[in-house]
Amino acid sequence: MTEPAIRASGLQKRYGDVQALDDLELTVEQGEFFGLLGPNGAGKTTFINTLVGLVHKDQGTAEVFGFDVEEDYREARDRIGVAPQEFNVDRFFPIIEVLEHKAGYHGIGRAEAQERAEDALKTVGIWDKRDTRFDWLSGGMKRRFVLARALVSDPDLLILDEPTAGVDVQLRHDLWEIINRMNDAGTTILLTTHYIEEAERLCDRVAIMDDGQKVEVATPDDLMARGTDTIVLELAEMPRTAPRLDVEGITDVELTDEGLAVTAMGGSQTAPAIMRELEAQGHTVTSLEIRRASLEEVFVDMTRDDREYAEVSA
Amino acid sequence: MNANATQFLTLVRREILRFVRRPYNTFLPPIITNALYFSVFGVILGSRIGEIAGVSYLQFVLPGLVVLGAISDSFENASFTIFHGRWNDYIQAVLTSPMSNRSMVAAYVSASALRGVVTSLLIVGVGLVFTSVPVANPVYLVSFLLVITTLFGGLGVIGGLWASDFDYLTVMNQFILRPLVFFGAVFYSLEVLPAFWRNVSLLNPMVYMVNGVRYGMIGVTEIDPNTSLAVLTGTTVVVLSIDYVLFKRGYGLAE
């Protein structure tokens, strides 16, 4: 039987009063492009750091390709390439040497390490900067470099913690292309992001985390189907008050400047019944538009509490 | 070459390149400092002091200065590289790799010990400008130098893991190591001390190191070199074991 790329069970980590991971259960299959969403403080980075050995769990188990991250830490870490959100790069050396060192730490001999370092820099498009130190790179190049460092050991599991934070649209698309190519070649990707669009476009499955727990795991489409869609209908003659609609799944009906806005679960399934109900009441529907719930709205619904949401949609 | 050896050698190489490529920070200071020591203590004051233990004052203080440079630099190298790596988080590139904890400790300590040995040779080189440098017992000299640089490389690892600010590094080097070395019979013979202070001095581990290297160079010692070597070797093993346990537990490295 094929071991999952990641299997976490009953994972717990506490920092003082804060329960960063609270009995987390999560499985990521080999070859998946898996997104990890959650508000700040949800436990995403703690979980990632547990996998790579920068956080020691209090309880539970975490395995990478069947290797326990603490008991078999060498086997587990050998399969992981990680691009953290913060720039944690050796500033003493030109970037190509930093990559050679990283490859060497993974047991790759010098000649091959040099070759891999060159290839990794070419892959992310900054080969011409190979003799430059990290501090002298632009912000976008720094993001590219951190990805190159994660790639240089040719990992089976690529962990990307906010890989496109603060980068421009063009670079974001470039990085998506590189990551997608890796995934197409069989590399399992674990991605955390604040850009919901990123998860929606890239991920096979998404886990929403909150308060150190997994709230839900599903495909982006499944998650969006669970959200409330808005059906906007234009009527030949708009009534003065919103009509009462006796249709299952409707949560709200209101008159807006655009027309009659009906909020319902599964908009495309509910729309025909709404039209029939309106026509039965003597209205003539002249146009209909279904606005699907975005993953972002579903995300906000699932993690709703007293938090600030500003950063989620930033 | 197997993966373990490649991992170890990569980190050792990285460490060596770091200090070799910055000679103004690493090798020039001990050269200048020791040239000043030799000029002031050896030439100017030494000519008035005369001989101690049958050798010139310059030759008498040379082993102590070698020890001072060796332990300062091996300690400083390990503590700085680990603390700086923690401070800027780039030590995570090592920590998230499949290197064993044993290899990490061995690499940091080996590179730091090497820097201490290189510094020793530079100080001897500076000494040669001022006086002849005898080597009475080369095996002891090499053994003591290897043991004390390894010991202080190991202590530097502990210091680098413990430090939470750059001030800690200064405190350890300037306020603990340096006074111990200065009161470790570098510039004087224990014979000149009153009995009480002589006994107090024997509690200072630096006395054993200085006397050991002095025995290796000029063949004179006030403490049995075999006992010193055995105690220092034992201490080194204990310190390296502590290094390993700290790495394994992620002290200062993991949350």
Domain ranges of chain B: 3-249
Of residues B246, B91, B83, B251, the one with CA closest to residue B167: B83
Chain A: residues touching B (Cβ < 8 Å):
15, 49, 52-56, 73-75, 77-78, 80, 82, 84, 86, 88-93, 97-98, 101-102, 104-110, 113, 149, 153
Choose from B81, B82, B86, B97 for mutation: most chain A CBs within 10 A: B97
Query: Domain A228-292 belongs to what topology?
Result: Alpha-Beta Plaits (3.30.70)
pLDDT in tens, chain A (314 residues): 689 999 999 999 999 888 888 888 999 999 999 999 887 888 889 999 999 999 999 999 999 999 999 999 999 999 999 999 888 898 999 999 999 999 999 999 999 999 999 999 998 888 999 999 999 998 888 989 999 999 999 999 999 988 887 777 888 888 888 899 999 999 999 999 877 778 888 888 988 888 887 777 878 777 776 767 788 888 888 888 888 888 887 888 888 888 888 888 777 778 888 888 888 888 888 888 887 766 667 776 666 654 444 444 33
Per-residue pLDDT of B158-192, as tens digits, reads 999 998 888 888 888 788 888 888 787 777 777 77
d(CA B108, CA B102): 10
Residue A312, pLDDT score: 40
β-bridge partners, A228: A265
Portion 151-170 of B in contact with A at CB < 8 A: none
The pTM (predicted TM-score) of the whole model is 0.83
Here the ipTM equals 0.85
Residue A314, pLDDT score: 35
Q: Helices (H), strands (E): how many in chain B? A: 13, 2
Residue-wise burial string across B216-253, b where 16 or more C-beta atoms lie within 10 A, e elsewhere: bbbebbbbebeebbeebeebbeebbebbbebbeebebb
Contacts of B94 in chain A (CB under 8 A): 105
Question: What does the domain layout of chain A look like in residue ranges?
Answer: 6-223, 228-292
The CA R_g of chain B, rounded to the nearest whole Å, is: 19
Joined together, the tokens standing for residue A132 give 């430059």
CA-nearest residue to A20 within chain B is B255
CB B125 within 8 A of CB B43: no
Q: Could you say which DSSP state residue A221 is in? A: H
A15 with B7: Cβ contact below 8 A: no
CB A211 within 8 A of CB A47: no
What does CATH list as the number for A6-223? 3.40.50.300
CA-nearest residue to A78 within chain B is B98
Give start and end residues of each alpha helix (H) in B39-162.
Answer: 46-49, 57-87, 92-95, 101-130, 138-162
d(CA A305, CA B128): 74
Residue A305, pLDDT score: 53
End-to-end distance of chain A based on CA atoms, in angstroms?
41
d(CA B39, CA B186): 16
If one counts every other C-beta atom within 10 angstroms of the C-beta of residue B166, the result is 12
Per-residue pLDDT of B235-245, as tens digits, reads 999 999 999 99
Q: Shortest Cα distance from A215 to chain B (angstroms)?
A: 25
Amino acid found at A92? F
d(CA A48, CA A216): 18
Between CA A4 and CA A13, with CA A9 as vertex, the angle to 5 degrees is 125
Of residues B82, B148, B156, B139, the one with CA closest to residue B117: B148
Q: Is B92 on the interface with A (CB under 8 A)?
A: yes
> Higher confidence at residue A268 or residue B219?
B219
**CA A208 from chain center: how many Å?**
9
Residue A304, pLDDT score: 62
Q: Is B14 on the interface with A (CB under 8 A)?
A: yes
B97 with A106: Cβ contact below 8 A: yes
Residue A150's SS3 state is: helix
The alpha carbon dihedral of B228, B234, B239, B244 has a sign of: positive
Q: Is B20 on the interface with A (CB under 8 A)?
A: no
Q: Could you say which DSSP state residue A133 is in? A: B
Q: Find all residues with CB under 8 Å of A157, minimum gap 6, and list them.
A: A5, A6, A64, A65, A79, A80, A81, A187, A188, A189, A190
B10 with A104: Cβ contact below 8 A: yes
Q: Is B96 on the interface with A (CB under 8 A)?
A: yes
* Tokens 């055995």 found at: B230
